[in-house]
Amino acid sequence: MSRGGPQQSMPGRDIPRRVSTRMGRHLTAAFAAVVLCVAAGACGRGEDGDKASGRARSPQETVRAYVEALNRRDGERFCSVIAPYLRGRVEVAAKETLEDSDGGKDPCARFVTAYIGHIDEAGPRWLRADIVELAPVRAGGGLVQVSMTLRHHYLDESILPKRRYTEVEADRVFLSRFEGRWRVAKMSRVARRATIGGLDESDPLQPVDVRAEERRFRDLLARQRAQYRSEQETYQPPGRLAGCKGRTAVLRDPEGDLRDQDRPYIRDPKAPEADLVRAEVTPSADRLCAVFALAAPPEGELLLMLRLGGAHPKALAGFGSVSVERRPDGAYRVTSGLNVEGDPETVAGEVGVQGSRVSLVIRRSPRSRAGSAPKDFAWGVTGVQPRPQERTALIDYAPEGTAGMVTYPAGLRCRNGDGRCPWPE
């Protein structure tokens, strides 16, 4: 192994997204308020000094608190000693990975606590760091610098017997004053070994331009707000339930068969508003019409997906699958796949609602039309209800199974990708 410990992946970028993130990465009003106060350096300070004396920490004491917070997996303390713009970046990463779970708690603290020492693949895991030597404070360029020598402790469980070992490394922490308090102005090596510092990919031993970092963070907030506004504009109130004309195929699904995405062996019948009981699909020469029937009228966040199978599913409507996404306020949008930023791609479609039924109408792409209604293709539907407070989602597949489909119009079971699902014409 190379000096400096294992190269662990950066939380917030490599962590596989849950099904619930399919609803998009929303900057909610609450989150927007949080990042605004972070930008002003006026929230979430936590403890920032000696409780007994009430005095602020010195640069060296701040560095010790910074390392100790990582060792203790103390996200609240760690976030209290880093610069507001660093805290803000962690907030954004938390929003992208943790969603709105435990929404009443500090997202920066939750993220740091959850991902200190996190590894996506088998390999050595960072446990803690001991400060072997702490050098005197050096000042220059509007910053102060504290150099130190650390002894990192690792645990490698990818081999048998598992192995504990240590590595010694030099580190350097740059600090600046914010509202009269010393804060860590740049993630140093120890934060990167703990898999938190990957949010900053610059050289950890080089000084930081605080004003430039503050501008970068303000630009990030501006992009997030613009993205949020643009995304919200894609949602619209639903219209009337569509009347699908043509040869309709019906797929029935048992009531009460929702499953937890993390524990698929557990059924949860307590969310009838997301429980699919019937689905219909009606293709025609110029459009594709689908109706989803639920056990109860839709509520809260909900995703209803029409999965189109076979070797060339895009021949049906220009898409491989199409989703209806419902916002908690009852507005809807239609999406298909992800854009280059990893967010759902909005497409033109019409959503209608009547009672517990939701309809979807999409126009077939001119290139996909053959002058008549398509036939002999495969299809299936999926219902998803995000459960952010529980960090999971309830899922209902019809027919059962992630790749399960039925043929149109016969309704014969097949599995997409195994060669048994027909090619759409």
Are 183 and 282 contained in the same domain? Answer: no
138 within a domain of the structure (yes/no): yes
371 within a domain of the structure (yes/no): yes
Are 207 and 80 contained in the same domain? Answer: yes
DSSP string, 259-279: EESS-TT-B--S-GGG-EEEE
* pLDDT tens, residue order, the chain (425 aa): 334 444 443 333 322 233 333 334 433 433 444 344 444 444 444 445 544 445 678 999 999 999 999 999 999 999 999 999 999 988 888 876 665 445 556 889 988 988 888 776 667 899 999 999 999 999 988 899 999 999 999 999 888 888 999 999 999 999 999 999 999 999 999 999 998 877 777 899 999 999 999 999 999 889 888 888 888 888 999 999 999 888 899 999 998 888 887 776 666 657 899 999 999 999 887 888 999 999 999 999 999 999 887 645 555 555 668 899 999 999 999 998 776 666 778 888 999 999 999 999 988 765 555 556 666 788 899 999 987 666 678 899 998 876 688 888 888 888 765 556 765 43
7 within a domain of the structure (yes/no): no
Write down the number of H helices and E strands in the chain: 8, 19
Are 348 and 226 contained in the same domain? Answer: no
Are 67 and 211 contained in the same domain? Answer: yes
Range of 336's domain?
Answer: 249-415
Rounded to 5°, angle at Cα 275 from 344 and 420:
70
342 within a domain of the structure (yes/no): yes
Are 159 and 215 contained in the same domain? Answer: yes
Rounded to the nearest 10 degrees, what angle do helices 84-98 and 29-39 cross at? 160
Counting other chains too, the contacts that 31-34 makes at CB distance below 8 Å and 24 or more residues apart are 31/91, 31/95, 31/107, 32/225, 32/228, 34/91, 34/107
425 within a domain of the structure (yes/no): no
Are 260 and 362 contained in the same domain? Answer: yes
343 within a domain of the structure (yes/no): yes
Are 31 and 179 contained in the same domain? Answer: yes
134 within a domain of the structure (yes/no): yes
Are 32 and 147 contained in the same domain? Answer: yes
Structural domain count, the chain: 2
Of the candidates 283, 307, 290, the one whose C-alpha atom is nearest the C-alpha of residue 379 is: 307
240 within a domain of the structure (yes/no): no
Specify the DSSP class assigned to residue 36: H
